[in-house]
Chains A and B, each alone.
Chain A
């Protein structure tokens, strides 16, 4: 009985902390994806604008 209660408590604590890590992880992955995409596209556009100005 005591072991079951302990296991249940550990499970709940683990679930709460994992949920938090997952929440932050997903958020970071989305922001990183957006950031990388925007930076890459901005670099391409900057290069094209520079080439066009030189011409």
Chain B
């Protein structure tokens, strides 16, 4: 179901990624102030924006789950958070590399942008332990959705709070002045942002397809497993090779 059109989307993502890479290294001018290190910006900032948007999108999907009761929305929300956490790791790592090259420090604790992103990241890191500490599938989905909605509301609030902070050394990319980016840099940045958003969508759909296959497997397992008082569906010689697959009630 989720695999439909995935091939085309993956090809588009690959094309956008190649175009963005070409623009970053062969079209965008080298920054006069920061030099070549500024090229990290085309990777780091789109990743941060897409990760934060992923958290907000997960909150919207969680709202859909709470409203409709459809478990599929919960799975979609879960996958969006999972992917955003992975991108969050990338944001923190590439940001640290840039900070080391530009500021001479891996991390600066009095910088609101860095610390606020870390807080959001750590908040979402508690999502999975919370989710999988609940065994009942319906309760698990409901509690996870409530968490996703609450944390999702925190993301824009956090973003606004950081923007209102007085002093920061972290560069502003999306400001009212457009971050003073020349045309070539702006175009490259937009293409990189689109490529990152496409990558997120492709991976999100891929993971959903994998979860769909796992759900189908669980359904088949239930069909072949012996029901109480009904005996085995298969004889011992025909026992299906599913013993190695752990039965899970969660969309892990």
Q: A residues near B, CB below 8 A?
A: 5-6, 8-10, 12-13, 15-17, 19-20, 23-24, 27-28, 31, 34-35, 38-39, 41-42, 44-46, 48-49, 51-52
Contacts and interface: CB of A to CB of B under 8 A. Distances in A.
Nearest to B210: A35
B7 interface: no
Given A45-B242, A49-B223, A19 B216 contact: no
Interface residues of B, number: 38
Contacts of B220: 42, 45-46, 49
Contact of B224 (A16, A20, A27, A49): A49
Contact of B97 (A6, A16, A52): A16
Contacts of A52: 224, 233-234, 238
Interface of A is mostly: helix
6 contacts: A8-B101, A17-B40, A19-B90, A20-B43, A20-B47, A44-B240
A31 B220 CA distance: 21
Nearest to A48: B240
A13 B37 contact: yes
B39 interface: yes
Contacts of A51: 238
Closest 4 CB pairs of A and B: A45-B220, A12-B101, A38-B213, A9-B36
Given A9-B37, A38-B214, A38-B217, A48 B101 contact: no
A19 B94 contact: yes
B242 to A, nearest CB: 6
